Amino acid sequence: MAAKHHRGECDDPECGHRHGKQSDEKKEQLQKRYMEFQILNHQIKEMQKQIQTIDAQVEELENTSSSIEGFSKTSEKADMFVTLSPGVFAKAELKDNKTLLINVGASTAVQKKAADVKKMVDNQISELKSYRDQAMMQIEIMVNKARDFENGLKELVE
What mean pLDDT comes out for the span 50-76? 95
Give, in order, the Cα–Cα distances in Å from 82 to each of 77, 89, 114, 139.
14, 5, 16, 41
pLDDT value at 3 more than 50: no
Identify the domain containing residue 123 by its residue range.
Answer: 29-71+114-157
Predicted confidence (pLDDT) per residue in 76-89, tens digit: 999 999 899 999 99
Encoded amino acid at 61, one letter? L
Task: Say what the pLDDT of residue 118 is.
Answer: 97
What mean pLDDT comes out for the span 90-105? 93
118 with 69: CB under 8 angstroms? yes
Is 43 within a domain? yes
Is 148 within a domain? yes
Exposure string of 15-35, with b = 16+ CB inside 10 Å and e = fewer, is eeeebeeeeeeeeeeeeebbe
Is 93 within a domain? no
Task: Say what the pLDDT of residue 2 is.
Answer: 47
What mean pLDDT comes out for the span 90-103? 93
7 with 20: CB under 8 angstroms? no
Please state the domain count of the chain.
Answer: 1
What is the pTM (predicted TM-score) of this model?
Answer: 0.72
Predicted confidence (pLDDT) per residue in 99-126, tens digit: 999 999 999 999 999 999 999 999 999 9
Is 106 within a domain? no
Please report which confidence band the pLDDT of residue 150 belongs to, taking 50, 70 and 90 as the band edges.
confident
Predicted confidence (pLDDT) per residue in 124-137, tens digit: 999 999 999 999 99
Is 62 within a domain? yes
